[in-house]
Structure 1
Amino acid sequence: MKSLKTLAIILFFGGCKAQTPILDISESGTGLPNGYYLKDTYDLLNQFEGIYQYTNGSTILKIVLVKKIQQYNGKYYEDLIIGEYQYIENGIEKINTLSEINITYLDQGFHSISNNLIVNNNFRLYPCLNCLANEKRLYSPIYDPSTDTYANLIMRRTTEGGQEVMKIVITNPSGGAYLESEGPGPNFSLPLGELTLIKQ
């Protein structure tokens, strides 16, 4: 009889334990205590995973994107896409962070590409006139380690001529460490504007 009472107490208090709130990545955790989980409930991030390459003569941009599940960023857990890239301009390699794709940082935001912000056609940073009505794109900052600057990166998965492609837009470079006396910081290394990368 004593063991039944003990078991009942354990089950009662075990069932009363606080649960970690789980939100979809489209929701905001503002106001919640640390420790909640932004989950890719509808697997919207899956379509962006892969290796993509833009080639124009001897200029190449190769991007590798990987989905990570339940990563802790110091405040909450989240599903997100991380990425690294290689940029070769006129046959000269300017940036190559591909070797960092398998590094697990305490905060995965340290990757060159890292985010889970799904945006729609009306995203004011870069509206999409050619997108389908319910098409989802992915927004992320992209880091240029050679100039210590960031730009905005908007990614759209689609198909052209039977080929899976990623249409990207790189825009609004900003930030960077520089001395005011030296004037504005260095230019962003990657080409700005829209590029089409073929899935490898």
Structure 2
Amino acid sequence: MKNIYLVLMILISIITKSQTVIDINDTTYSTFNNTYHNYYKKDLNNLLDPFQGTYIYTSGNTTFKIVLKKMIKQPEGLHHEDMIIGEYQYLVNGVEKVNTLSNLDIAYSNQLLRHGIAGNSIISNINNRVWKCPQCNPNEKRARLTITDELTNRYADMFLRRTVINGQQVLQIKIANTDTVSYDVEHESPPANFSLPLGEFTMIKQ
């Protein structure tokens, strides 16, 4: 009887500790589905790899630099995820407005929430409504991340497309959909505007 009990306890332990692996490109699972507490959202086809690197956008006296890298099996609540994390530097007229690049190698307990740039959503439809791309190849994969403005603590969507222009590897970016901030108009000052670049622009890979 004791042996049967021991075997049952071992089986229960194995089942409890087993982890369901989910492809980051699989939209059939919801991260809010309580059925899958102990899952691993894995980049099975290395779709995040092409977005890694250092990229710079320059226009007149404005320079915007981002550094992106892929992180494997990072803890996120009760599960794990592969993801892109990143940081940035923003200069206007030679004056550094903000620089978070030194935070890139910090291993936060929650990487998605703490890094300046983070995420792992894959966009596959060439005319996806969040960022239409009629020039994209039918099977081309783009990424959707979140960028947080350290100066105002506001955030926005950051869409990425890797491509080549005139033989140069580039990252086409769209930063949009800033968060909405509620405030008491009678007793509070309006929230600060999102201070990082907004719109669409092309960044050169370094």
Q: TM-score, normalised by structure 1?
A: 0.88
Verify: 1:26 aligned to 2:19, yes or no. no
Relative to structure 1, is the Cα distance of residues 136 and 77 closer, same or farther in structure 2, using a 3 angstrom cutoff? same
Match of 2:63 in 1: 60
AA matched with 1:133? P
The unaligned stretches of length 5 or more in structure 2 are none
Spell out, residue by residue over 1:85-130, the C-alpha distance to the aligned partner (whole angstroms, 9 max, x if none).
0011121111110000000000101111111000122322221122
Match of 2:83 in 1: 80
Match of 1:17 in 2: 14
Post-superposition offset of 1:14: 6.7
Match of 1:103 in 2: 106
Verify: 1:158 aligned to 2:155, yes or no. no
Verify: 1:112 aligned to 2:116, yes or no. yes
The unaligned stretches of length 5 or more in structure 1 are 1-5
Do the aligned residues in 1 keep the contact of 2:20 with 2:36 (CA within 8 Å)? Answer: no
Post-superposition offset of 1:26: 1.8
Match of 1:137 in 2: 142
In 2, Cα distance between the equivalents of 1:172 and 1:15? 45
Spell out, residue by residue over 1:105-163, the C-alpha distance to the aligned partner (whole angstroms, 9 max, x if none).
00101111111000122322221122111111110111001111111110000000000
Which of 57-66 and 16-25 deviates more? 16-25
Do the aligned residues in 2 keep the contact of 1:150 with 1:175 (CA within 8 Å)? Answer: no
- Count of paired positions: 192
Do the aligned residues in 2 keep the contact of 1:148 with 1:177 (CA within 8 Å)? Answer: no
CA RMSD of aligned residues (A): 2.2
Same amino acid, percent of matched pairs:
44
In 2, Cα distance between the equivalents of 1:140 and 1:125? 12
In 1, Cα distance between the equivalents of 2:165 and 2:111? 32
